[in-house]
Chain A
Amino acid sequence: EPEVTQTPSHQVTQMGQEVILRCVPISNHLYFYWYRQILGQKVEFLVSFYNNEISEKSEIFDDQFSVERPDGSNFTLKIRSTKLEDSAMYFCASSEAGRGNYGYTFGSGTRLTVV
C-alpha cells in the first residue's frame, strides 16, 4: 500500500536556526498538507498545497514558514528561524480529494524539538 514518508523522524535544533522537514507524499494524490501537534494538544492544520501552489494556510503559517515541491516528488516545510513554541510533531499528509475520494494518508511525523 502506498505510503507517505517523512524525514527525519526526530530533529533537535537551536532556537533561531532554520529547519527543513521533508516529505514524500503519494505521487498521484492531488492535495498535500502539513499539520502540527503540540504535545498534549490536538492536531492543527498549517497549509494545503494543490496544483503546485499553496491553496490555503492557517494563521499559524506566518512568514517564517514556507513550503515547496521542488522536484515533483518531495514536499518540504521550512521554518526559517525556529522558536521554542515551534516544538511539536509535524505531520505531512496527502489526499486524493478532488477526485471524489476523501481518503487521507499521513506520514509518521517528524518530532521537532527547539532548544
Chain B
Amino acid sequence: KNEVEQSPQNLTAQEGEFITINCSYSVGISALHWLQQHPGGGIVSLFMLSSGKKKHGRLIATINIQEKHSSLHITASHPRDSAVYICAVPGSNYKLTFGKGTLLTVNP
C-alpha cells in the first residue's frame, strides 16, 4: 500500500509570494496527480506527471521518481489560489491513494 505524505498541512502566504507544497510517497509509481479542492468540495485535476516538470500558468509541478518526491509551486500567489491542494498516486486498477492535503490561504 502506498503511503502519501504532504507538507505542510497548512500554509498561509501573502499575495505575491512563491508557494511550495511537497509530496512524498513510499512505493514507486507511473504517474502522480496534483488536485485542487475548493471550499464546497469539488475536485479539479491540475496536473498528472510521470517525469520532470510541467507548467500551467503560474503553477509548476515537478517530480523526482528516484526520490519518490514531487513538489507543486505557485508563483505570484493570489487570494484566488486559496484552496486545498492534494497529491494522489495510482495503484492497482489505477485507483488513487490521496494525501491529506495542504490548506493554502493567500491573504491580500
Contacts and interface: CB of A to CB of B under 8 A. Distances in A.
Interface of A: 31, 33, 35, 37, 41-45, 48, 50, 55-56, 89, 91, 95, 97-98, 102-106, 108-109, 111
Given A104-B33, A104-B48, A56 B92 contact: yes
A56 B95 contact: yes
A42 B101 contact: yes
Nearest to B86: A43
B31 interface: yes
Contacts of A45: 95-97
A3 B88 CA distance: 20
Contact of B42 (A97, A103, A108): A108
A55 B93 contact: yes
Interface string B20-60: 00000000001101010000011111001010000000000
B35 to A, nearest CB: 8
Greatest chain A CB density within 10 A among B42, B45, B97 is at B42
Contacts of B50: 102
A56 B45 CA distance: 23
Contacts of A104: 33, 45, 48, 96
The 10 closest A-B pairs by CB, nearest first: A97-B94, A106-B43, A108-B42, A43-B98, A102-B31, A48-B93, A56-B93, A55-B93, A42-B100, A45-B95
B100 A102 contact: no
Contacts of A31: 93-94
A55 B93 CA distance: 7
Contacts of B86: 42-43
Nearest to A33: B95
Contacts of B98: 42-44
Given A31-B93, A43-B88, A102-B90, 12 more contacts: A33-B96, A42-B98, A42-B99, A45-B97, A48-B95, A50-B93, A56-B92, A56-B93, A95-B94, A97-B90, A103-B48, A104-B96
